[in-house]
Copies of this chain bind each other. A is one copy, B any other.
Amino acid sequence: MEYLTVGEVAQRSGLPVSTIHFWESKGLIRSLRSDGNQRRFARPELRRIAVIKIGQRAGIPLSEIRDVLDTLPADRAVSAKSWAALSRRWKGSLDDRIARLTALRDQLGQCIGCGCLSLNKCWLRNANDKLATEGPGPRLLNFDE
């Protein structure tokens, strides 16, 4: 049981076999082949898969995940040190996304309360009608009916 078949990896990781194929085709994971050309996965690949899944949860595109994994030794499991660096990086990107979403949420929260009845105070205004902000012209987001 030194190596795992694709089915075993699927079971352990919870991924469909097709996704494992796909990720391998994209260079995210690697396998050896048996005499009969079947995939054989070294155990450390499981850790890479776990890391990839976390990256995805963090909203990192596969191409970027692949790029950072490529900077790591391919033949060993992701080390604690590498993982700390990776998680720091992904945490940063998450921080950004959370900040942006939170700002939007707070703005939406204000819209609920105010009903955006005051055009000049509405945060939506400047963000959405380029022309309208350049003069007293027609207003895209005038919520006064």
Contact = CB atoms under 8 A, between A and B. Distances in A.
Contacts of A98: 98, 101-102, 105
A104 interface: yes
B116 A83 contact: yes
Contacts of A108: 54, 58, 87-88, 90-91, 94
A95 B87 contact: no
B130 A83 contact: no
Given A12-B131, A140-B46, A145-B80, A87 B101 contact: no
Contacts of A143: 47, 78-80, 83
B50 A117 contact: no
Interface in A1-42: 11-14
